[in-house]
Amino acid sequence: MTDHESISIAALPVMGETAHQSYPSATLYVVATPIGNVTDISLRALHVLSLVNAVACEDTRNTAQLMTRFGLHKPLIAAHQHNEREVAETLIARLQAGERIALVSDAGTPAVSDPGARIVDAVRAAGLRVLPLPGASAAVTALSASGLVNDQFYFVGFLPAKAKQRENFLGTLRAVTATMVFYEAPHRILDCAGALAAVFEPEREVVFARELTKMFEEIHRCPLSEAEAWIKADAHREKGEFVVLLAGAPAAEDEQDLDAERILKILLSELPVKQAAGLAAQITGRKKNALYDRALQLRDEA
């Protein structure tokens, strides 16, 4: 990008639109922050952080550094997993006085495997407004680059740290057909891979997304049988924050679909394709077009 292009982007009309939007008082703003690359902050998030009376955050040191990089300085309130209930009371009192408060976590979207959910719950219960500002999420970022084709995903978050509890918990997920999304700490990533390999089929596809949006970002996809070897092949692969994606179980054939197929085969032995499909649709309640296509396949296979 040339200097001229940078200047042109800075002068775009959209850059000033944030100041003309509505930012109600007595509102808790749930603000997503970058998961690595600081420039992933949204324009609206920057404006809200410059506007609020205070910022409730997971770690005041981390948030202070982030705010400084944006040239912002606001009072910070520690709001972590050990004090959420108590802090919620303080925030509610300030919100009732008409203040605007931002809620952030160390990285990504608050209340998603991070502190914040109890605060949001308490603020809502008090009849106050909560306004979310969307942005970075490690889970969605990893999914978008995984190539795992599935219309559904199941967010698991962090697995239990103890081996037996982890194994038992994973056992409950064997039949899940959605892509599963796990978060894992670097010192447990090898244990995580081993546990997945012990519980699930070796041919299942797994994706390791490491250090997303950062300098040493790495996204690797392989069969589960190769996962541990891949991690062990390079010591650097046990460093950084991880999102682990596991392909879901193959969808089991629905009993009603099996019944429809059985009926269709019987009818095809006596009737033309179109008539057999139409009659099967009436009997089973299945869609006629789908049954017709299947009838053509069965006829060709015969």
Tokens of 197: 């390999």
Return all residues near 263 (Cβ < 8 A) that are at least 6 apart. Answer: 280, 283, 284
pLDDT digits (tens, 9 = 90+) for 169-193: 999 999 999 999 999 999 999 999 9
Categorize the per-residue pLDDT at 12 as very low, low, confident or very high, splitting at 50, 70 and 90.
Answer: confident
Contact in structure between 280 and 286 (CB atoms under 8 Å): yes
Q: What is the Cα–Cα distance from 52 to 50, expressed in whole angstroms?
A: 6
Tracing tokens 């009603």 back to the chain, one arrives at 256
Categorize the per-residue pLDDT at 234 as very low, low, confident or very high, splitting at 50, 70 and 90.
Answer: very high
Q: Is the pLDDT score of 1 beyond 70?
A: no
Q: Is the pLDDT score of 3 beyond 50?
A: no
Q: Write the DSSP string, 28-76.
A: EEEE-B-SS-GGG--HHHHHHHHH-SEEEES-HHHHHHHHHHTT----E
Other beta carbons less than 10 A from residue 165's beta carbon = 11
Range ranked top by mean pLDDT from 205-209, 234-238, 253-257, 297-301: 205-209
Q: Where are the beta strands (DSSP E) in the chain?
A: 27-31, 54-57, 76-78, 100-104, 129-133, 153-158, 179-184, 205-210, 218-223, 242-246
Categorize the per-residue pLDDT at 20 as very low, low, confident or very high, splitting at 50, 70 and 90.
Answer: confident
Tracing tokens 């940078």 back to the chain, one arrives at 6
Do β-strands 179-184 and 153-158 pair in parallel, antiparallel, or remain unpaired? parallel
DSSP state of 248: P
Picking from 119, 115, 64, 58, the residue whose alpha carbon sits closest to that of residue 93 is: 119
Q: Is the pLDDT score of 254 beyond 80?
A: no
Do β-strands 205-210 and 242-246 pair in parallel, antiparallel, or remain unpaired? antiparallel
pLDDT digits (tens, 9 = 90+) for 26-51: 999 999 999 999 999 999 999 999 99
Whole-number pLDDT of residue 18: 85
Contact in structure between 178 and 247 (CB atoms under 8 Å): no
Question: To the nearest whole number, what is the mean pLDDT of the chain?
Answer: 92
Mean pLDDT of 232-258: 86
Whole-number pLDDT of residue 7: 54
Q: Edge-to-edge, what's the strand order for the sheet holding 179-184?
A: 153-158, 179-184, 242-246, 205-210, 218-223
Looking at the chain, the whole-number percentage of residues with pLDDT higher than 70 is 94
Q: Edge-to-edge, what's the strand order for the sheet holding 27-31?
A: 76-78, 54-57, 100-104, 27-31, 129-133
Q: Give residue 209's identity as a one-letter amino acid code.
A: A
Contact in structure between 261 and 272 (CB atoms under 8 Å): no
Three-state DSSP class for 241?
A: coil
CA 28 from chain center: how many Å? 22
